[in-house]
Chains A and B, each alone.
Chain A
Amino acid sequence: MEAIDEIVAEFLVESHENLDQLDRDLLALEQNPGSRELLASVFRTIHTIKGTSGFLAFHQLEKITHVGENLLSRLRDGRIGLTDERATALLKMVDAVRGLLASIEATGLEGNADQSHLIQTLSALLEDGATPPPAAAPPAEAAAPAAAPAAPAASGQPGAEPATEPAGEPTAAGEPAAAASGAATKRRATKKATAPAAQAQATDASPAAAGNEPPAPPASPPLGAVLVEAGATTKDAVEIARMEQDLGDQRPIGSILVEHGQTTPAAVDTALETQSAHRSVVDSSVRVDVELLDSLMRLVGELVLARNQLVSRLDDSTDTAKDSSLARSAQRLSLVTSELQEQVMKTRMQPVDAVWSKMPRVVRDLAKTCGRLVRLEMEGRETELDRSVLEAIKDPLTHLVRNAVDHGIEAPEVRKAAGKAVEGVLKMRAYHEAGQVHLEIIDDGAGIDPQKIASKAVERGIVSQGQLTTMTPREILHLIFLPGFSLAPKITNVSGRGVGMDVVKTRIEAIGGSVDVTSRVGRGSTFRLTIPLTLAIIPALTIGCAGRRYAVPQVSVLELVRLSGEHARGGIELISGAPVYRLRDMLLPLVRLDEQLGLVPMGSADADSAIKDDERGGFIVVLHAEQQRFGLVVDDVLDTQEIVVKPLGRHLKGIPVYAGATILGDGSVVLILDAATLARRSNVLANAQGAATVENDKDDETVDPVLVVEVGGGRRAAIPLEMVTRLEEIPAESIERVGGREVVQYRGHIMPLIRLSNLLGAYGDTPIEGVGIQMVVYTRGERSVGFVVERILDIASERSGTRSDIDDHALIGSIVVGEKVVELLDIQAAVLSADPHFYSAGADTDAKTPMEALA
């Protein structure tokens, strides 16, 4: 960029903006082909680019925009209609211009891309000859390469031209194009009528006219109105002059009025000045370099820190030392700082439309390619986000939109057959809620069929059938976000490459957001992105661990659990080095922060005594990362505050546990922890991702955690942990009998019980009255089954490969856990023995179990 001078840089920025506008206008034009206003806007934009590129000697650019302009001027004059091909060609032209601009930006040169084909296409589309030129249109559009013959009406006019030159010429540069849509171009055409077409165009693009004049904002009032307002003429006179223009008078309105004696040349000059003054008022915004804003934001971050420091010092100081005027000043500073922070954040805010504005084009092109009819609706265009966030969501959003068109919305005939409107609706919504931005992409297409997802996931080896049965439909839907998952039956260049959804999720989560999907088969799908307003300053929870402080982004924190009294760390169930906590009867896998940070030896929790005697209490920070819940065991929870995220230096970038660092109010540096990494490091996520990794890496041992229970008579069985919804202890008296089966009332439902001792033929001890019965609850959808066990022993990790087959009822095989052989329970078989309709009663319409259905 250094090589290019400022004018070119300015031109590039301006043109890029213009092109976006152009895309929008062209698409709007397709919907509303008759709109003169839109055509004028499009024409104006191309004209400006053409003029400037001629001035800057970008000849390729000039050539393309020139043909484009010709086509547009014919469209504008109604001589040809806007057909599909023409719209496509014009959009292609916009692309070509964009490409050239990109090349200019990168190299300073236009590059060697061959544009002749496009130029030919555009030129060919100039001629369809079907529509004869309407009488009012000036045939003198000699500018067109087609070189239409000069019309007598036009050649008759030049005589009047010199006389009006003083009033007319400034108009060429000064009159807004909107007002000029008729007059200026027509006048130019008149002058050109006798000149060769090419030369005429060159005059048109003269540096004086185009290079120095920014595109006129359409907001400026027309000259006639200004004159009327100034009392220099009457409304009627202007009307008459307009009509004359419409009837073929090629002169600007000022000249006509002067000729009619309705105003004076001096008044016209004044009016022209007024007009340009109007423009500078409209132009009251300033272009600011984004880097400047970024550095401003950094400085404000520092100011916030300094403010926090000052306030915390003041709070700490004793009463006697407190100077009330100092306190007041500090308070003022505090307020002003907060406001400044808010305002500076605002300068970085951009409406989501900055990204959305590209979508109509994406949707149009894709719909054409895929043969879909799609109507794009947008709601909440003005919703603002920090520009860094906008930048980050651009690709994920585009992917989701493409996906909705390609996979969501069905082909018109399919829709018709399904009794839906032929045209699909793709709706994009954006709104603010609770300090976050919500973006929704809603289509009324086919929806996502969980059954299909499920079978595909099993086929791909992403989940096992066993895992599938425990998953809720929502969880199944979320499988589409796993790497290597793609539903497209065939690979198109649009989608179906198996990359995408997982990338969408990773990208969104990388900026602290989340993705959710809901879908109804046949009715459509909704993808919902929840995104923080800004990335630079985030709310965080400060925690204490081994005498040090750390920060955890608040967005990952679900809740805090205090470990005190009888619930002190003794309440953590430590089983084979896999600590869990019963949180409201749900099993919460735990991660010890001190262990993860290497502050105490790994697995020191193994020795039961080491932790059981640890009665010092602490906290469990329940975190949510990568769709998993887990608890982070820390010593202390200090407070929440807004922190400024600072990147770590290159020496520490390689340690994934840290997402960055921040400086607290007292000036100390504190590391920010990355919840997703902690979760991964602690293998909490092993079961969710294990299956996917097996595919790639056979050597990688998959470790599926199992719950080891004692069934009775010393016999042990293992239940895959992913099948375990809850552990419960119920009084033996609460067991009731219904038709020979044992049931309990559980959470408002009647839940059948299965005594594993009976099922496996173990000789269980008769339950003792008054002693609680241990139960493992398995839930799928609305239904639950309780497995009654003698004792819950352990959570262990099953090593793949140690599984051996045993041909027995309700057993899958046996595994080795801690050098003891344990039978692995076949949950499905076991459940069916208690409730043969367990799997068929829910959403499934046929009597098959999901296992059968998938087979």
Chain B
Amino acid sequence: MSQLSTFHVGKYLFGVDVSLVQEVVRLQQITPVPLAVPEIAGLINLRGEVLTAIDLRSRLGLPPAEGGREPVNVVVRVDDEPVSLLVDEIGGVLEVSQVPFEQTPSTVDERVRDLLLGAYTLPDRLLLALNARQVLDVGQESRAA
């Protein structure tokens, strides 16, 4: 994993293996799914395909974004099923093979720590590498079952 596709959520910079990212789209419409777990933001129409969108803020235990900014869909493909991750803003693709890599600091909230592979210490800030599989592993039971 030498290249990471990066994006901003809250004040953090996250990255996910670029080979997992199918595309990045900005879509207006999202259809909420009642009874789904709160991390599921809803369904989007990606060129005729119905995709589940996961709200990364909610998934990471961050408060909802303030202001009416449209989230960006980072469509990742794991196990051949594309799923959209809603992020605040997209960053660039970073080459990280030369960047020092560290285990996730133990100070990070335990819930979030499971979702991270570790952190790349960029000169000016930390780049948190997401474990895409874990992130997508949202509770599949319905809330009001």
Binding site for B on A (CB under 8 A): 301-302, 305-306, 548, 597-599, 602, 646, 648-655, 657-658, 661-663, 667-671
Contact = CB atoms under 8 A, between A and B. Distances in A.
B108 interface: no
B51 to A, nearest CB: 7
A305 B141 CA distance: 31
Nearest to A301: B48
Q: Max chain A CB contacts within 10 Å: which of B48, B49, B142, B145?
A: B48
Contact of B50 (A602, A653, A657, A661): A661
A655 B83 contact: no
A667 B32 contact: no
Contact of B36 (A650, A655, A670): A655
Given A654-B140, A667-B29, A649 B81 contact: yes
B31 A652 contact: no
A311 to B, nearest CB: 16
Contacts of B29: 667-669
B34 A597 contact: yes
Contacts, number: 76
B121 interface: no
A670 B140 contact: no
B126 interface: no
Given A548-B31, A669-B31, A598 B144 contact: yes
A652 B141 contact: no
A701 B55 CA distance: 39
B138 interface: yes
B143 interface: yes
B41 to A, nearest CB: 11
B2 interface: no
A671 B33 contact: yes
B50 A598 contact: no
Interface residues of B, number: 28
Q: Max chain B CB contacts within 10 Å: which of A306, A655, A661, A663?
A: A655
Contacts of A654: 140-142, 145
B35 interface: yes
Contact of B34 (A599, A651, A670): A599
A540 to B, nearest CB: 15
Contacts of A669: 29, 31, 42-45, 50
Contact of A655 (B35, B44, B51, B81): B35
B40 interface: yes
B140 to A, nearest CB: 5
23 contacts: A548-B32, A598-B35, A599-B34, A648-B50, A649-B52, A649-B83, A650-B81, A651-B40, A651-B138, A653-B140, A654-B140, A654-B141, A654-B142, A655-B33, A655-B35, A655-B142, A661-B50, A662-B50, A663-B48, A668-B29, A669-B31, A669-B44, A671-B31
Contact of A646 (B33, B35, B50, B144): B50
Given A652-B52, A655-B142, 5 more contacts: A305-B48, A306-B48, A655-B145, A669-B31, A669-B50
A548 B42 CA distance: 12
Interface string B28-67: 0101111110001011110011111010000000000000
A548 B35 CA distance: 14
A301 B48 CA distance: 9
Nearest to B40: A651
A598 B143 contact: yes
Nearest to A657: B35
A657 B29 CA distance: 22
A654 B83 CA distance: 16
B51 A649 contact: yes
A484 to B, nearest CB: 25
Contact of A652 (B40, B44, B45): B40
Contacts of A661: 31, 43, 50
A648 B52 contact: yes
Nearest to B143: A598
Contacts of A671: 31, 33, 43
Q: Max chain B CB contacts within 10 Å: which of A305, A648, A652, A653?
A: A652
Contacts of A668: 29, 31, 45
Contacts of B32: 548
A211 to B, nearest CB: 39
A657 to B, nearest CB: 6
B75 to A, nearest CB: 12
Contacts of A655: 33, 35-36, 142, 145
Nearest to A653: B140
Contacts of A648: 43, 50, 52
A548 B31 CA distance: 8
Contacts of B36: 651-652, 655
A342 to B, nearest CB: 20
A497 to B, nearest CB: 31
Contacts of A306: 48
Of all A-B residue pairs in the complex, the 4 with the closest CB atoms, nearest first, are A597-B34, A649-B52, A669-B31, A655-B142
Nearest to A663: B45
A683 B94 CA distance: 55
A664 to B, nearest CB: 9
Nearest to B47: A302
Nearest to B141: A654
B83 to A, nearest CB: 6
Q: Max chain B CB contacts within 10 Å: which of A658, A668, A669?
A: A669
Contacts of B81: 649-650
A652 B33 contact: yes
B56 to A, nearest CB: 14
A635 to B, nearest CB: 14
Given A598-B144, A651-B52, A658 B33 contact: yes
Contacts of B42: 669
A667 B45 contact: yes
Contact of A302 (B48, B51, B138): B48
A174 B34 CA distance: 67
A108 B122 CA distance: 54
Nearest to B34: A597
A595 to B, nearest CB: 10
Interface in B10-44: 29, 31-36, 40, 42-44
B76 to A, nearest CB: 12
Contacts of A646: 49-50
